Chain A
Amino acid sequence: DTGVSQNPRHKITKRGQNVTFRCDPISEHNRLYWYRQTLGQGPEFLTYFQNEAQLEKSRLLSDRFSAERPKGSFSTLEIQRTEQGDSAMYLCASSSSRAPGNTIYFGEGSWLTVV
């Protein structure tokens, strides 16, 4: 068990460019989540997958954001036409509906800075 892995850990991009983050959940975890954390705030829910199905998206997830989990394993979060307000840490988490307590495990996050 290597934990939840996120790449890249840091990304600096110019406004208007597209960025993509990847998340590899703990193996056998069927649930995968994306959260966003801005400086001085707690993480906020963005979206949730059960296997390959995206079951809920927050209103925070504008049309410029898209998340996929094509084979029910790793997931990608793409932000198109980035804006300075997108600067934040993007956290991925996973859990198993089959595990007692359904504990959610977080990755170390991907920092995005839009300049």
Chain B
Amino acid sequence: AQSVTQLDSHVSVSEGTPVLLRCNYSSSYSPSLFWYVQHPNKGLQLLLKYTSAATLVKGINGFEAEFKKSETSFHLTKPSAHMSDAAEYFCVVTDALSGGYNKLIFGAGTRLAVHP
């Protein structure tokens, strides 16, 4: 079965410093992987996705993630944090057994705090 582990429940950075949010996945198949962001009282917004093309994926707002099959990781990074990046971030894997309709399996989330 597919699963996702987000290694940090909380990450705190200073504005202008790099961001690293860690995610490991477990999958018996070649997975599709996503990062979603959730701002307070808002819905989930797709940041980026990996679907077996380039292993380095660029997303919105300067975020990127690298798929590393040997490490079963899909860490999210950003070179310079902005105050508006403060939010909850979810690493997500699709359920390959879901018949192609992309049932999403979410990690528990990482809350990113950005300090001035």
Taking Cβ atoms with an 8 Å cutoff, the residues of A that contact B are 4, 31, 33, 35, 40-45, 48, 50, 55-56, 91, 93, 95, 97, 101-109
Which B residues lie within 8 Å of A40 (CB)?
108-109
Is B116's CB within 8 Å of the partner chain A?
Answer: no
Contact B101 A50 (CB under 8 A): yes
Whether B109 and A109, one on each chain, are in contact in the complex, defined by CB atoms closer than 8 angstroms, is no
A104-B106 contact, Cβ under 8 Å, with A42-B90, A109-B43: no
| CB pair B103 A101 closer than 8 Å | no
Contacts A101-B49, A101-B51, A103-B49 known; A43 to B103 CB distance under 8 Å? Answer: no
Extra inter-chain contacts (9) besides given A43-B44, A43-B104, CB under 8 Å:
A33-B103, A40-B108, A42-B108, A55-B99, A55-B101, A102-B101, A104-B102, A107-B43, A108-B41
Q: Which residues of A contact B42 (CB under 8 A)?
A: 108
Q: Is the CB of A95 within 8 A of B44?
A: no
Whole-angstrom CA separation of A29 from B45 in the bound complex: 17
Q: Which residues of A contact B103 (CB under 8 A)?
A: 33, 45, 48, 56
B106→A103 contact, CB < 8 A: no
Q: A106 and B49: CB pair below 8 A?
A: no
Main secondary structure of the interface of B (DSSP, over half): loop
CB within 8 Å of A: which B30-67 residues: 36, 41-46, 49, 51
User: Do residues B43 and A42 form an inter-chain contact, with CB atoms below 8 A?
Assistant: no
Q: A42-B90, A48-B101, A103-B49 are contacts. A4–B43 as well, Cβ < 8 Å?
A: yes
A110 to chain B: closest CB distance in Å? 11
Q: Which residues of B contact A44 (CB under 8 A)?
A: 106
Interchain nearest-CB distance for A76 vs B (Å): 18
Are B41 and A103 interface neighbours, CB within 8 A? no
Alpha-carbon distance A45/B93, docked complex (angstroms): 12
The distance in angstroms between the C-alpha atoms of A65 and B43, with both chains bound, is 22
Name the residue of chain A whose CB is nearest to the CB of B106.
A42
Residue pairs across A and B with Cβ atoms less than 8 A apart, 28 shown, are: A4-B43, A31-B101, A41-B109, A42-B92, A42-B106, A42-B107, A43-B44, A43-B90, A43-B104, A44-B106, A45-B103, A45-B104, A48-B103, A50-B101, A55-B99, A55-B101, A91-B43, A97-B101, A101-B51, A102-B101, A103-B49, A104-B46, A104-B104, A105-B46, A106-B45, A108-B41, A108-B42, A109-B43
